[in-house]
């Protein structure tokens, strides 16, 4: 029988020099076979997040050969069973740290954890004698180590004492191995997501570069100017114009290109989950918060966060977002630590935000925070010169995706119909039309859907009228605001309930402003309580 100190030292060295749990278990398995009966070694645990009984790794001898296995799910517990498991053993009852079960002996056997009653038969231990070792740190049950041997081998109390002495290094190694496995799974998941996102964005960015020297020339010049900076960018444009593609282009051209690019679909996050999704939560912060969760802002640290469809945010969400943009700090739900964040914000919307501000549906201070560098992406109907190139690009792309031979180019009549259509869905609609045409045309000539019901485009489309030509002047807005206050005060300027008090200015200042804007008051004024339409204010 080995010396207990030597056994402790050897086990500690073996389990602490490996991160890969399978290699660690193989080393431990080889050593234990020299010190006690051992034909099988398993590490099992319950994943409290998913409710699964999992085998982290196991090693066994089969026909004289050593066979190793990686992580495997045995089964999933029903939710009511998980509720009992999370409570742990009854108060005042402690589970034994090490148990022996020798085949052919009638000593009582107690499963190592209440949860293992249902799964014990799945551990492949039928016909084995075995020792169960409970692994825990600070009264937190981590899992169970099974050391098993075929009869006529039997375990003794001395074997149990050796394993009990080594519980602490075994538990630490078990915990580290689980964390390492979780990190590897998370890395693989993120790699898969990044590859999928890169494929989508590379395909979409190809469509954007088609217009780089055409209808998107001015937009791309502005992108080149703002990308190296840290200024917030607000992308405006109709649905399907490629706002996310431009957001990714800005990130790719910036010094943050090697840092995270995190997308947030603002309209898709329920109000109840908004804080948790954006700012994260601590373990135990609320029911179901079984682990630490990093929020989108924290994950985008030193990178870029893309707030898609910012106009869909509720008023409560706008207040929370404004605070983050102003303070550059977040607090996880249920946490007390304030976390500094360094993110570049790119927001996008197809809504008319200035109009929403005037209607009270969007906070004015948040709008000004986001509207540092606005970029308006023109719809496809205003860049018709790009349609032939976009058509050629999407045909090649979709043929590769659908594993189809390259079709003949569309005839002049089809191309003319495509160029006269108004494209309410913009580039995204064109992409869908191309895919549908490839599917329905088969191996024959390329046929596009009939656009006869669509409103025709003007023969010589004119560039859109600049927004500044149709916007009211600042004087006109001020004049209308003063008239609203005068109507509310029924023509009264000073005193309690007067227009000056409502507007937060001195009465003499208000009179001077009204004279400058040509708004009459006093005896010469129309009765304000009867006024239904505002007077015309000068635009100078």
User: Residues 180-223: pLDDT tens digits?
Assistant: 877 877 777 666 666 665 555 554 444 455 666 677 888 888 98
Alpha-carbon 215 to chain mean position: 32
Residue 220: which residues within 8 A CB-CB, separation 6 or more? 211, 212
Question: What is the pLDDT at residue 211?
Answer: 60
d(CA 533, CA 15): 84
Task: Check if the beta carbon of residue 510 is closer than 8 Å to that of residue 504.
Answer: no
Euclidean distance between CA atoms 356 and 311, whole angstroms: 8
Q: State the DSSP string of 436-478.
A: HHHHHHTTS---PPP-TTSPPPPSSPPPPPPHHHHSPPHHHHH
pLDDT by residue for the chain (540 residues), tens digit each? 567 889 999 999 998 888 788 888 899 999 999 999 999 898 888 777 677 778 888 888 887 788 887 666 666 767 776 776 767 666 666 667 888 888 765 444 444 455 455 555 566 666 788 888 988 887 777 888 889 898 888 899 999 999 999 999 998 988 888 888 778 777 776 666 666 655 555 544 444 556 666 778 888 889 889 999 999 999 999 988 888 888 988 998 899 988 889 888 888 888 778 888 888 888 778 877 777 888 889 888 899 999 999 988 888 888 888 888 888 888 888 888 888 889 999 999 999 999 989 888 899 999 999 999 999 999 988 888 888 888 888 888 888 888 877 766 777 788 888 888 889 988 888 888 888 888 887 776 777 876 644 555 554 444 444 444 456 777 788 888 888 888 888 888 888 888 888 888 888 888 888 887 888 777 655 555 444 444 443 333
Q: Which residues contact 106 (CB under 8 A, 6 or more apart)?
A: none
Of 346, 352, 425, 426, whose CA–CA distance to 386 is shortest? 426
Burial environment of residue 346 by CB neighbours within 10 A (0 to 12, 13 to 18, 19 or more): buried
Helices 387-402 and 426-441 sit at what angle, rounded to 10 degrees? 50
What pLDDT shows up at residue 226? Answer: 93
Which CATH code is given to the segment(s) 4-180? 3.30.450.40
What does 199-243 look like in DSSP terms, one character per residue?
HHHHHHHHHHHHTTTTTTHHHHHHHHHHTTS---EEEE--TTS-H
Written as six digits, the tokens of 14 are: 């073996």
The answer to whether the CB of 293 falls within 8 A of the CB of 277 is: no
Strand 129-137 vs strand 140-149: parallel, antiparallel, or unpaired?
antiparallel
Asked whether the CA dihedral 110, 112, 117, 121 is positive or negative, the reply is negative
DSSP string, 312-327: G--HHHHHHHHHHHHH
Q: Which residue has the tokens 């607090």?
A: 331
The CA distance from 376 to 465, in Å, is 13
pLDDT digits (tens, 9 = 90+) for 263-272: 888 888 887 7
Q: What is the reported pLDDT for 29?
A: 92
CA distance 45 to 174: 10
| Dist CA 18 CA 356 (whole Å) | 59
Q: How far apart are CA 281 and CA 274, in angstroms?
A: 11
End-to-end CA distance of the chain: 101
For residue 255, what are the CA distances in angstroms to 206, 229, 344, 346?
A: 22, 8, 11, 15
Architecture of domain 211-376: 3-Layer(aba) Sandwich (3.40)
Cα dist. 467→464, 473, 522 in Å?
A: 9, 12, 37
Q: In this structure, what is the dihedral angle of CA atoms 316, 321, 327, 331, given to the nearest 10 degrees?
A: 80
Q: Please enumerate, as own/partner, the contacts of 457-461 that have beta carbons within 8 Å and a separation of 24 or more.
A: 457/381, 457/384, 457/419, 457/420, 457/421, 457/422, 461/381, 461/382, 461/384
pLDDT mean across residues, the chain: 79
**Are 299 and 272 a contacting pair, CB within 8 Å?**
no
pLDDT at res. 470: 55
Question: In sequence order, what are the beta bridge partners of 98?
Answer: 133
* Closest among 318, 308, 198 to 247, alpha carbons compared: 308
pLDDT in tens, 381-411: 888 888 888 888 888 888 888 887 776 677 7
For 383-441, CATH gives 1.10.8.60
Which pTM was predicted? 0.53
Instruction: Give buried/exposed letters for 489-522 (b at 16+ CB in 10 A, else e).
Output: bebbbeeeebbbbbbebeeeebbebbeebebebe
Contact of 42 with 74, CB cutoff 8 Å: no
Beta bridge partners of 345: 305
């Amino acid at each position: 029988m080995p010396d207990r100190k030597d056994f402790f030292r050897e086990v500690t060295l073996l389990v602490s020099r490996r991160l890969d749990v399978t290699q660690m278990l193989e080393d431990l398995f080889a050593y234990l076979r020299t010190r006690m009966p051992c034909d099988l070694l398993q590490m099992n645990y319950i994943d409290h997040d998913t409710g699964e009984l999992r085998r982290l790794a196991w090693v066994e001898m089969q026909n004289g050969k050593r066979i190793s296995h990686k992580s495997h799910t045995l089964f999933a517990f029903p939710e009511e069973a998980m509720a009992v498991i999370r409570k742990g053993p009854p108060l005042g009852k402690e589970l034994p740290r090490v148990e022996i079960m020798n085949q052919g002996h009638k000593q009582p056997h107690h499963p190592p954890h209440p949860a293992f009653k249902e799964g014990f038969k799945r551990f492949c231990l039928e016909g084995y004698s075995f020792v169960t070792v409970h692994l825990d740190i600070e009264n937190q049950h981590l899992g169970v180590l099974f050391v098993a041997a075929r009869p006529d081998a039997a375990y003794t109390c001395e074997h149990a004492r050796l394993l009990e002495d080594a519980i602490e290094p075994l538990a630490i190694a078990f915990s580290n191995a689980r964390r390492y496995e979780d990190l590897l799974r998370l890395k693989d998941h993120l790699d898969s997501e990044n590859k999928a996102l890169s494929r989508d964005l590379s395909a979409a960015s190809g469509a954007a570069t088609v217009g780089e020297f055409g209808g998107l020339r001015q937009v791309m010049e502005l992108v080149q100017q703002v990308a190296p900076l840290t200024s917030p960018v607000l992308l405006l444009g109709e649905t399907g114009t490629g706002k996310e593609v431009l957001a990714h282009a800005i990130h790719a051209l910036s010094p943050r290109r090697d840092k995270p690019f995190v997308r947030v679909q603002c309209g898709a996050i329920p109000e109840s989950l908004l804080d948790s999704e954006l700012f994260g939560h601590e373990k135990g912060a609320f029911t179901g918060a079984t682990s630490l969760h990093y929020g989108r802002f924290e994950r985008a640290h030193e990178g870029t966060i893309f707030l898609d469809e910012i106009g869909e945010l509720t008023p409560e969400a706008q207040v929370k977002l404004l605070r983050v943009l102003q303070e550059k700090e977040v607090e996880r739900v249920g946490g007390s630590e304030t976390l500094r964040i360094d993110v570049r914000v790119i927001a996008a919307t197809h809504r008319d935000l200035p109009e929403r501000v005037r209607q009270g549906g969007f906070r004015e201070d948040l709008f000004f925070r986001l509207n540092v560098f606005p970029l308006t992406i023109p719809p496809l109907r205003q860049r018709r010169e790009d349609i032939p190139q976009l058509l050629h690009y999407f045909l090649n792309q979709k043929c590769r995706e659908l594993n189809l031979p390259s079709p003949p180019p569309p005839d002049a009549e089809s191309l003319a119909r495509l160029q006269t259509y108004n494209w309410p869905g913009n580039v995204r609609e064109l992409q869908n039309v191309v895919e549908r045409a490839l599917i329905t045309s088969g191996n024959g000539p390329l046929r596009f859907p009939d656009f006869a019901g669509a409103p025709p485009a003007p023969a010589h489309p004119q560039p859109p009228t600049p927004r500044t030509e149709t916007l009211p002047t600042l004087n006109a807005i001020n004049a209308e605001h003063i008239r609203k206050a005068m109507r509310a005060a029924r023509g009264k300027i000073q005193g309690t309930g007067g227009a000056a008090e409502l507007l937060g200015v001195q009465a003499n200042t208000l009179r001077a402003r009204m004279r400058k804007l040509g708004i009459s008051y006093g005896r010469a004024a129309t009765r304000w309580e009867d006024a239904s339409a505002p007077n015309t204010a000068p635009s100078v």
